[in-house]
Homo-oligomer: A and B are copies of this chain.
Amino acid sequence: MSKISYSIKKKEGALIKDPVSLVKSYPKMHVTADCAIFGFDENELKVLLIRSDLAIYQDLWSLLGDNIADDEDLDAAAYRILRERTGMNDVYLEQVKVFSKPDRHPGGRVLTVAYCTLLNTRHHELMIHDNEIHWHKFSSIEELAFDHKEILDSCYQWLQKRIQEHPLGFNLLPEKFSLRELQNLYEAILGIRMDRRNFRKKFASMKLLIDTGELEDDVPHRPGKLYKFNFEKYEKQKNSWTGIDF
């Protein structure tokens, strides 16, 4: 039984009137948020990494992370990290999992909350000025500092699962995109090939795509129509949403 277990409080018998001194008697630990920042570019899933500044992880890369400030909500901390590093505010971001192995950080016990972040690299690339930060192909990332490879793999699995339940993929694409780009994205993330006609039918039946009336203009072949994702309509119906299924 832990030395600081709940049962100690109960032995006092009477109700506790001073929660502040109670909480002060509890142990504290370091807490960070780490963001697995995914982008999609040249038909490949990319991850934004920073060069580790710890000597023992020399030449290794790590996820972007930071401490949680004393009065800061975790989601706010994750948004702050994104804002500081990419300059962007309107980024899709979701909490994935806490990583808590006592020895996961060489500097002592640090608990970290993993966030999965999806953004469009084109939209964001110009705002990154730190040349220690780069986009890496997800498929060629082999080793990272700390337990960040494990965290990244968890976030990728989370993404694979989540993208089949909700249309998150649009956060990785430009505002206007062709159906081919959309299909390439799904194929890259899920690691499977799909039938083009069936893929189009599936998205057509969701009725969440808006035909912009525009065409691609930078392809060396017949250009496809450009669509926008109907975020508003999706927001309205997502409570009764049951999944996409590929």
Contact = CB atoms under 8 A, between A and B. Distances in A.
Given A21-B107, A27-B30, A29-B68, 17 more contacts: A2-B67, A2-B77, A2-B80, A4-B69, A5-B66, A6-B84, A10-B53, A15-B54, A16-B53, A16-B54, A28-B29, A28-B30, A28-B31, A31-B111, A68-B100, A74-B100, A98-B98
Interface residues of A, number: 64
A54 B17 CA distance: 6
Interface in A184-236: none
A56 interface: yes
Given A26-B110, A30-B26, A102 B6 contact: no
Contacts of A1: 80, 84
Contact of A17 (B26, B55, B101): B55
A102 to B, nearest CB: 5
Contacts of A65: 6
25 contacts: A1-B84, A2-B66, A2-B80, A4-B69, A5-B66, A5-B84, A10-B132, A15-B58, A16-B54, A16-B55, A17-B55, A19-B105, A20-B108, A22-B54, A23-B108, A24-B108, A27-B30, A27-B68, A27-B69, A28-B29, A73-B100, A73-B101, A73-B102, A74-B111, A95-B98
A97 interface: yes
A66 B6 contact: yes
Interface in A63-104: 64-75, 77, 80-81, 84, 95, 97-98, 100-102
Nearest 6 A/B pairs, CB to CB: A19-B107, A23-B107, A28-B28, A74-B100, A15-B55, A23-B108
Contact of A74 (B27, B30, B98): B98
Contact of A53 (B9, B20, B75, B111): B9
A162 to B, nearest CB: 11
Interface string A36-67: 00000000000000000111101000001111
Contacts of A26: 30, 32, 67, 110
